[in-house]
Amino acid sequence: MLNEHTRGRNFVRGALEGIEEFKSGKQGELQSIYENLGNYAILLQNHIDKENNILFPMTDQVFSDEEQRRLLVQFGEVENRAEAEFNHANSIQKINKLVDIYL
C-alpha cells in the first residue's frame, strides 16, 4: 500500500507536468493530463477499498476497545480542525487559486 502513495504522487506530478506543457501550447498534453488524473482516481478508489476492507479490520483486532475510543476522540478533533480549514467556500477559493496558477 505504501507503493500506492508513490504511484499516486507520480500521477499527480504527471498531470501537473501535462498542465505546464498544455499552457505552453502543446495541445496533445490534454491526453496525458486525463490519463494521469484518471489513473489517480482509480488508484484512490482501490486504495481506499483496501483500507476499508483490509487495513481497518486488521486494526480492529489489534487495538483494545479503550484504545479505539481514544482514537475516535482524537480523529474527531482532527476532523473538526480540518472542517474549519476545508469548508465548502474555502475549498472553492483554493480550487480557483490553483486554476489561476496552472491555467
Q: What is the pLDDT of residues 13-52, one digit of tens each?
A: 999 999 888 888 887 788 999 999 999 999 999 999 999 9
pLDDT, the chain, mean: 90
Residues of the chain with pLDDT > 70: what percent? Answer: 98
> At residue 96, does pLDDT exceed 90?
no
Q: Which residue has the cell 502543446?
A: 26
Longest dimension (CA), the chain: 58
Name residues whose C-beta falls within 8 Å of residue 72's C-beta, 6 or more positions apart in sequence.
none
List the grid coordinates of 12: 499527480
Packing angle, helices 2-23 and 88-102, rounded to 10: 50
Name residues whose C-beta falls within 8 Å of residue 23's C-beta, 6 or more positions apart in sequence.
102, 103
pLDDT of 103 reads 65
